[in-house]
Amino acid sequence: MSLILPPDIVLKVDDLSIVYRTDRGDVKATANVSFELRNGQALALIGESGSGKTTISLALIRKLPKNALVTGGRILYQRNEKIKDVLELSDRQLREFRWNECAMVFQGAQNAFNPVLKIHRQFEDTAQSHGWTDKTAVRKRALSLLELVRLDPERVYDAYPHELSGGMKQRTLLALGVLLNPQIVILDEPTTALDILTQRAIIDVLNDMQRQLDFSIIFISHDLSLAAEMADHVATVYAGEIVELGAVNDIFYQSLHPYTHGLLTSVPTLEHAQDLLQSIPGSPPNLIAPPAGCKFHPRCAFADDTCSKDSPPLTDDVGGHLAACWHTDRLLASRKARV
Amino acid sequence: MVDLLQKAAKNYTVRVFVQAILTIWAVATLTFLLVREMPGNPIDVLIEQILTQEGVSYQEAYDRVAASFNFDPDASLLDLYLSWLGDLLRFDLGTSITSPGTAVIDEIARFLPWTVFAVGMGLLISFVLGIILGMTMAYYRDSFLDHSLSLLSSFMTGVPNYIWGLLIIIVLGIQLDLFNVGELRGTYDISLTPGLNAAFVLSVFKHAALPITTYVIATLGGWMLNMKSSTMGVLNEDYVNVAEARGLTDKRIISAYVGRNAALPLFTQLTIAVGFVLGSGVVIEEIFVYWGIGHYLFQSITVRDYTSMQGVFLILTMAVVFSNLFADLTYGLLDPRVRISGDK
Contact A104 B245 (CB under 8 A): yes
Sorted by where each begins, the domain ranges of chain B are 1-102+307-344, 113-302
Under 8 Å between Cβ of A24 and A288: yes
- Residues of chain B contacting A108 with CB distance shorter than 8 Å: 238
Q: What is the ipTM of this complex?
A: 0.87
Under 8 Å between Cβ of A260 and A244: yes
- Residues of chain A contacting B232 with CB distance shorter than 8 Å: none
Q: What's the rounded Cα separation, in Å, for the pair B205 and B118? A: 9
- Mind telling me how many Å the CA of B257 is from chain A's nearest CA? 6
Q: What pTM was computed for the model? A: 0.82
Nearest C-alpha in B relative to A98: B247
Which of B241, B247, B335 is nearest residue A130 as measured by Cβ atoms? B247
Mutate to test the interface with B, among A54, A100, A110, A116 (most CBs of B within 10 A): A116
- Give whichever of A103-117, B44-58, B125-139, B187-201 has the largest mean pLDDT: B125-139
Contact A114 B243 (CB under 8 A): yes
Q: What's the rounded Cα separation, in Å, for the pair A296 and A224? A: 19
Under 8 Å between Cβ of B122 and B278: no
Under 8 Å between Cβ of B245 and A107: no
- pLDDT tens for each residue of chain A, 339 residues long: 557 888 889 999 999 999 999 998 899 999 899 999 999 899 999 988 888 888 999 999 999 998 999 999 999 999 888 899 999 999 999 999 999 999 998 876 788 999 999 999 999 999 999 999 899 999 999 999 999 888 999 999 999 999 998 889 988 998 999 999 999 999 988 877 778 887 888 888 888 888 888 899 999 988 888 888 888 999 999 998 999 999 998 888 888 888 988 888 887 776 666 666 777 878 888 888 888 888 888 888 888 888 888 888 888 766 788 888 888 888 888 877 765
Contact B239 A114 (CB under 8 A): yes
Helix (H/G/I), strand (E/B), else coil: B256: helix
B113-302: which CATH topology?
MetI-like fold (1.10.3720)
Contact B256 A126 (CB under 8 A): no
Which one, of A175, A49, A91, lies nearest residue B249 by Cα? A91
- Mind telling me how many Å the CA of B333 is from chain A's nearest CA? 10
- Residues of chain A contacting B237 with CB distance shorter than 8 Å: 111
Q: Residue A282's CB: how many other CB atoms inside 10 A?
A: 10
Contact A112 B261 (CB under 8 A): no
